[in-house]
Chains A and B, each alone.
Chain A
Amino acid sequence: MFAYLVKRAFQAIAVMFVISVVSFAIQDNLGDPLRELVGQSVSEEVREQLREELGLNDSFITQYLRFAWKALHGDLGTSYFFKEPALTVIFKKLPATLELVFGATVIIIGLSVPLGVYTAIKPNGLFSRIVMGLSIVGISVPVFLTAIAMIYLFSVELQWLPSFGRGDVVPIFGHWDTNFLTVDGWQHILLPSIALASIMLPLFVRLIRAEMMETLQSEYVKYATAKGVRPMRIYFVHALKNTLLPVITVGGVQIGTMVAYTILTETVFQWPGMGFMFLEAVNRVDTPLIVAYLIVVGFIFVVTNTIVDLIYGLVNPTINIARMGA
């Protein structure tokens, strides 16, 4: 167990190192920190002196080490636009994005498991055919198009739900404002969550169905039937448990994809989260904010993947975590 944890931690650190080097290289090449600091009306000598003071003439490695040292202490620079530490800006935006991802995840898990299981059990039923037909349409519609279609239908035509923003939010602790405590908040988060879920849901339904159908063909399911075990227990204990193992692995990868899709969803719905902020930062060439976003998102990826790997190891009895370190 310990060896496995060390190995996973080592890999996570290696990935974070690569991300930090990439981020630093971006910072090094993007924009001119001097101009942001003093503007353009300063003489060349003063500039050179400032350069020296700021350590901009040091070698790449020295500068990187300084950057990494600061980053480890939570200092990722100050946003040019917000005039605030970049991390603070991101942490203000983080709850909006996480709540959106959470909403989408609830929709995905809540629907994909029953639909996947049902279509696997009754592959030729009318409902299954409809679900499978819709699922292939679902994976063929880009997230932003789903979002636009929903805005057009529910906001423009029917005028049932708002088309942009977070609406009324309630602070729960620190910077964390939540959508889930007001009716208006629920109304605002509904469409973006569905839009974000729309691309993953069909993928998961199809994945669960395929795995479930394979599992239902297995000897141990046939054996359970031969023991006289009830079908519901066979489906949900014998088959589903085995089905979910590969789904967990794929699901972990998809969390990363979901963070990417928040950029699209947030753009369409002008959702004030990290993704929307990132695109704005890019347009404003707000380098510290771009870099901070990269590092925070990279960190989220690494952490979720490590957690998913650990969960997989814990859920699957045939993997002996204690021996995996070898």
Chain B
Amino acid sequence: MTTQTNPQARGSSFWQSNFVYSFRKSPIAIISMIVFLLIALSAFFAPLLAPVDPYNQALFDIMDSELPPVWETYGDPRFIFGTDPQGRDMLSAILYGTRLSLLIGICAVAVQAFLGISIGLIAGYVGGRLDSLLMRMADIQLSFSTLMVAIIFLAVSQAIFGSDTFNKYAIVMLIVVIGVAEWPQYARTVRACVLAEKKKEYVDSARVLGFGPLRIMVRHILPNALSPIFVISTVQVANAIISEASLSFLGLGMPPSQPSLGLLISSGFDYIFSGSWWITTIPGIVLVVLVLVINLLGDWMRDVLNPRLYKGDK
């Protein structure tokens, strides 16, 4: 995607400076950013930071199973956050799990954005029957919740392909299904932007100058839609991470050999009644903090950029 600024994107440098100014003025935004970067970086460098490889079952020792975190009475200094029933180091599992959750969340949103922006641009620019057809589809798609569509799609593909094949392609499936199900969010907003911008003179002049529709859309209209796209993307990453966690929790996402945060929480749930709270609680806290800081950043961004987002009104 082009991020270079366009002379037509009015006041782009202005919003950037205002953006930075209000960022420095907002302690919540700063703290959220720091926490997010900490989580993101430790997830990115998980292979370097993790004490063991949580995917290599040969490294687990059943003797180490269900050890509590170090600060508890029977804690073991080798396992800071304790171990799961298989004797897997929770810290390593959480680092790798966060990595997976972030990866799936961001890639799924990239898919959403690509589909939604393309469809929104086309619908808004072409207009007419194609527009109303696409928007009708968007309405219908939205009326079926993402999670519902994802659950059904994944459940059925798991049943059809068998869990071995399914587990192999779980990441791709999660990205695709979360990505495809949420395109209308982008499409509606981008379409609204296109409709608003299309009326303005510079689009006419670009057309008179003989620029093709693709160039007009990408170079002239899209930059004006960037701030709502930005705000939506933040919220969508948070939602995608929650969706992935929910699907994995149901056993419809990542396989047990490669647990994401949702699956870690799920595997710990069975042990919550026996008092092994940490298997569920610690990945749960990480998940909530990660989603929370992304949401806080999104909220702050919405306040600063104040874009006109698409609303349900007709």
Contacts and interface: CB of A to CB of B under 8 A. Distances in A.
Chain A in direct contact with chain B (Cβ < 8 angstroms): yes
Interface of A: 11, 15, 26, 29-31, 136-137, 139-145, 148-149, 151-152, 156, 245-246, 249-250, 252-253, 256-261, 263-264, 267-268, 278-279, 282, 285, 290, 294, 297-298, 301, 305, 319
Contacts of B245: 142, 144
A137 B311 CA distance: 23
23 contacts: A29-B160, A136-B296, A141-B291, A142-B245, A142-B249, A143-B246, A144-B262, A156-B272, A246-B313, A252-B143, A253-B312, A256-B145, A264-B249, A267-B249, A268-B269, A282-B155, A282-B156, A290-B156, A290-B159, A297-B148, A298-B144, A301-B144, A305-B143
B312 A136 contact: no
Interface string B289-314: 00110011001000000000001111
A144 B246 contact: yes
Contact of A140 (B140, B273, B288): B288
A260 B147 contact: yes
A245 B313 contact: yes
B238 interface: yes
B291 to A, nearest CB: 4
Nearest to A143: B246
Nearest to A257: B145
Contacts of A260: 145-148, 151
B136 interface: yes
B145 A148 contact: no
Contacts of A298: 144
A290 B295 contact: no
B136 A11 contact: yes
A246 B311 CA distance: 8
B114 to A, nearest CB: 23
A26 B155 CA distance: 11
A30 B147 contact: no
B272 A152 contact: yes
A142 B242 contact: yes
A154 to B, nearest CB: 13
A149 B313 CA distance: 37
B244 to A, nearest CB: 10
A142 B246 contact: yes
Contact of B151 (A15, A30, A31, A263): A263
**Which one of B238, B242, B251, B266 has the highest number of Cβ atoms from chain A below 10 Å of its Cβ?**
B242
B145 A259 contact: yes
Contact of B295 (A30, A136, A301): A136
Contacts of B152: 294
Closest 10 CB pairs of A and B: A249-B312, A260-B148, A257-B145, A140-B292, A260-B147, A140-B291, A282-B155, A260-B145, A256-B145, A305-B143
A210 B298 CA distance: 15
